[in-house]
Structures are given as C-alpha cells and as structure tokens.
Chain A
C-alpha cells in the first residue's frame, strides 16, 4: 500500500503537498524497476519547470530514467544528501529519498494526479 498522504503520477513520481509547496520523489515501484540506484541528477534551486517537464534523471546499473514534474513550479530545495548516498532512494523512497521541493504555480493542477489507491490499481495492471 502506497502512502495515502501522497499523490502519484503515471511515471511513478509522488508529490506531498502542503499549501503551495510540493515535495517530489519517486515511488517504491519505480526504485524496484530500476534496481540499485547509483546516481541522481537534480536541478538547481531557482530552476523552473512546467507540468510534465523532465527535471532530472535517476541512474541505476542497467537503466537511466528521466524524472517528470507533476506540476508547474520553481525549485526551492534540492536533497543534497543523495549525492553521497544514492542508495537512500532504494531504502526510503518516500521520506529520506525526497528529491526536490517546489513552489507550485497552480496548486489546483494536483487534481489531475492519482490517489494512493488509484496508483496501486495502476501499478497492479502494469505488472
């Protein structure tokens, strides 16, 4: 069961929303697919993106996967700890493995995202 305080995308990102600040990461399903994460490329504070833009990528031994932003916004924080310990993404994808924080331009965009229940249904059908 995916954490129910989060919202999810079809590309397996999650977002935790608090007012107009969003914290973004990738799901356990994604990290399982990737295998052991070896490197993460993240944007800089101040970068802006539109919904669906690629804001970085995650690399494992066998694959590299782009990261897509679920909403439009400006990056206000980046998880610097991941540089030294990319395996955090595998160990704790929903908390310590957070990727970036954004100031959302339009918080109502989140209505397009999936709930935990909908996401779990979706991933079951993917398998």
Chain B
C-alpha cells in the first residue's frame, strides 16, 4: 500500500504536521486490556452500583418492565450499526421504523404530527420554548414551578441569549399549578404557558383547562410529559373534542417506553405539534412517499429546516436524533399494544395508591397534595431526610428523592415513585422503614 501511495513509511504521511506539534511520547492512558480483562474490569465497576436494592426513585427516570424482545431486536446489527438514513434506498428499515415511531407518538399524545425524536425530555422542552418563540414572535414564557427542575434549568440556558424571559407560576395545595395566579399573569405579551403532567410531584394537571385559558389570552400551550407511559391511560394533552382545549406542542421523555434507566442516558425525547406548525418543529422528520416505480418508500423530509441546509437560520442545531432509543420505544409500544399499556398504567396507579394508603394508616408521615396522581407522590418527613434515608438504606431500600434540593420551601420532604415493578413486599418494607 505504501508503494501505491509513493512513500516509504507511514510516518511520512504525517509530514504536514509541524514537528514541534508532534507528540513524541505515548499517551498516558491505561495499557490495553484483553477481552476477558475488559469484562472483569467493567463487571467490578457495575458491581459497585447497588442495582439490586429496591428503589423508590422516579423524578424523570423510571423503572418499568422492558420486554426481552426489545433488546433482542435492537441488537440486530442491521439496526444498531447502521448510519443515519440519508441514502433512503438502502435504509428503508430505519426509515420505516422511525415513521412508525412518529405515528405512535401522535397516537399516544393525541397530536397531529411528531418528529423522529430529540435527545431527551429536558433539551426537548428547551427546543419547544424556542419553537414557541418562532411561532408566536413573542418572548415571555410562563412556566409552572412543578415542571421538572432540571428541565427548567436547561430551558434557562437555551433562553438566555435569545431574549427569552421566563416567569415561574407556583403550585396550590392540591399540588397542581396555581390557576388563579396563571390567569392573573397571562397577558398579550405571553408567548406560551408551559406545564408538566403528571408534574414533578406526581400530580396530574388539567391540561385541557390550561390550554383553553392560554388560548383565551392569545398564548400557546406547551405541555411537557416526563413520564410518557402515563398517556397509556390518562387523557393526553392533544386529545379533546374542542380544539382550543388541546395543546399546541406536547414534548417529553420517552424513557419509560422500553429504554433502560442507564444512569440517566441515553434516553429519548419526543415532540409533537399541530400540522400547521410542522415547519417550525426542530429535528428530523421521516415522510412517506414513492420511488419512481410507484413503490411505497420512506425518506427524511422537510430537511431544509435542519441545520445542514439552513445553516444560521436553522430551527435548531440538532443533528443526531436518538434513533436506536426511538426504535426501542417503537418496539415496546408495538409489543404492549393499547391493552398492555393500559394495564401497566393501572398497576402503577393502584400500587401507588396502595403505598399512599399504607403510609397514611401505618406511619406518622404526611402525604402532601391531594390532586389525582399517577405513580409518584410527596411525603412530609417529621425528622431529617438524611436520618430517614439512612434507615431505609440499611434495609437495602433506596429512598425517594430529597425534595429540599429543588423545593426548599417543602422542608424535609421526599418524592416517592412506585411502578408496576415494585412488589407489595417492597412497598410494605418501605412503609415499615418509615414508621
């Protein structure tokens, strides 16, 4: 090969790099490990994570059953080692699967059109705020305090250099957004109202009322769903007989649809909107069309919106979507079907309510916020969170999230999550640990 190139050593191929920039030592990284050594290395580290404890953590990352066939299918190298489907003739597998994902998301959210996925719920929310700015040409956003705090933190990073202002709307004793305060603060300068359902406290918001109120004041309605599986049983923000009672953008996190928790990533964001706003939507889109012989075919479309053609006028700077994770969600929804999703949601609701009742009747702890819940709730601790947590950890139970971290006004409070994977025995042990 070197003779074809016309040099006598590989070193000559780097002649264009000035000598003083050359690294003349080996990189100071660990020596190469062989396959058995690598397995051992990572096995040891994985073992230092306490994954076999029972866990009552939720807060945006949820433990649900993942059917074995999800991993079996996405492990096919045809799916996971394929590139972005820019050449549709040899990427119809990926393209059709994404088209199916887009459709599943519209069905789940009740919206008209969805994109091929975004990085995650938090960046998705930021992108939907930018989208709201583009559509309304206004800069003020009213965001509920009960939207996931890390999502709100990401929004503020994206918003700060684009002239966007964010005002926070508090919550009422029910745990839901303070509607009176919202109504007072809505004026003609508001671009959109942003709420989350179920919200960070686990309380289900009445998004249809909120959408109607927003529209009455000329504002858009953006609803964030961090626990996507809840739409398997809850009336989604995009579904209502009256159009003014539906959201303009539904955005969120699809991790609970067959994607492992994996210490926070990779997960999968989704965004859905009305047909008339499709050209303002960020990210990739797969459309259905035909080849010149009339065969049905799928193709990336409306890509002039994306970064690679519009450059500085692009609707966002997204390049990758989360294709393989979107495929996991697609396979999950296909496997569960509407009945399966409904049953999982029922178990989440019933088990959570069981936990709430047990805590009320057997412990001195107070369950806050009386609004209807999905799979999370807040308990007020009489004593120090740390003391309470330590007791639970000793029984190999991971406690719920320490809420004072994000909501200091709640004092010693804990956000507890119960899913279909939490057994009665685990709930009973958790309750006993709180006594």
Chain A residues in the interface with B (C-beta under 8 A)? 39, 41, 59-64
Of A39, A41, A62, the residue contacting B309 (CB under 8 A) is: A62
- Residue on B with the closest CB to A62? B309
CA distance in complex: A60, B304 (Å): 8
User: Which label, helix, strand, loop or mixed, suits the secondary structure of the B interface?
Assistant: helix
Within 8 A of A (CB), among B304-343: 304-305, 309-310, 313
**Bound Cα distance from A64 to B312, whole angstroms:** 12
Contact at A63–B279, with CB atoms within 8 Å? no
Q: Which residues of the other chain, B, contact A60 by a CB distance below 8 angstroms?
A: 304
Complex CA distance for A60 and B305, rounded to whole angstroms: 11
Q: Which residue of A lies closest to B301 (CB)?
A: A61
CA A61 – CA B309 in complex, angstroms?
10
Binding site for A on B (CB under 8 A): 279, 304-305, 309-310, 313
Bound-complex Cα distance A61 to B310 (A): 12
Note all chain B residues with C-beta closer than 8 A to A64.
304-305, 309-310, 313
Can you pick out 14 interface pairs between chain A and chain B where the beta carbons lie within 8 Å of each other?
A39-B279, A41-B279, A59-B304, A60-B304, A61-B304, A62-B304, A62-B309, A63-B304, A63-B309, A64-B304, A64-B305, A64-B309, A64-B310, A64-B313
Shortest beta-carbon contacts, A-B, top 9: A64-B304, A59-B304, A64-B310, A63-B309, A64-B309, A63-B304, A62-B309, A39-B279, A62-B304
Residues of B within 8 A of A41 (CB): 279
Main secondary structure of the interface of A (DSSP, over half): strand
Kindly list chain B residues whose C-beta atoms are within 8 Å of the C-beta of A63: 304, 309
Beyond known contacts A41-B279, A64-B309: 5 more, CB 8 A cutoff: A59-B304, A60-B304, A61-B304, A63-B304, A64-B304
Interfacial chain B residues near A61, Cβ < 8 Å: 304
- With the chains together, A84 CA to B144 CA distance in Å? 40
Q: How far is the CB of A55 from chain B (nearest CB, A)?
A: 15
Q: Tell me which residues across on chain B come within 8 A of A39, comparing CB atoms.
A: 279
**Residues of chain A within 8 A of B313, CB atoms compared:** 64
For B279, list chain A residues within 8 Å (CB): 39, 41
User: Would you give the shortest CB distance from B18 to chain A, in whole angstroms?
Assistant: 39
Which residues of chain A are within 8 angstroms of B305 by Cβ–Cβ distance? 64
Residue numbers in A under 8 Å from B310 (CB-CB): 64
Task: Determine which residue in A41, A60, A61, A63 has the highest number of CB atoms from chain B within 10 A of its CB, and name it.
Answer: A61
Q: Taking the nearest CB of chain B, how far is it from the CB of A79, in angstroms?
A: 19
CA distance A10 to B284 in the complex (A): 33
CA distance A41 to B279 in the complex (A): 10
Q: How far, in whole Å, are A39 and B304 apart by their CA atoms in the complex?
A: 11
Cα-based distance from A61 to B303 in the complex (angstroms): 7
Q: Which residue from chain B places its CB closest to the CB of A59 in the assembled complex?
A: B304
- Most chain B beta-carbon contacts within 10 A, residue among A59, A60, A62: A59
Nearest CB of A to B3, in Å: 41
Q: Output the least CB separation between B208 and chain A (Å).
A: 30
Q: Which residue of A lies closest to B299 (CB)?
A: A61
Please, how many angstroms separate the alpha-carbon atoms of A61 and B299 in the complex?
12
Report the minimal beta-carbon distance from A91 to chain B, rounded to whole angstroms. 19
Enumerate chain A residues within 8 angstroms of B304, measured Cβ to Cβ: 59-64
B291: min CB distance to chain A, Å? 15
| A44 CB to nearest chain B CB (Å) | 13
A59 to B305, CA, bound (A): 9
Closest residue of chain A to B310 (Cβ to Cβ) is A64
- Max chain A C-beta neighbours (<10 A), residue from B304, B305, B309, B313: B304
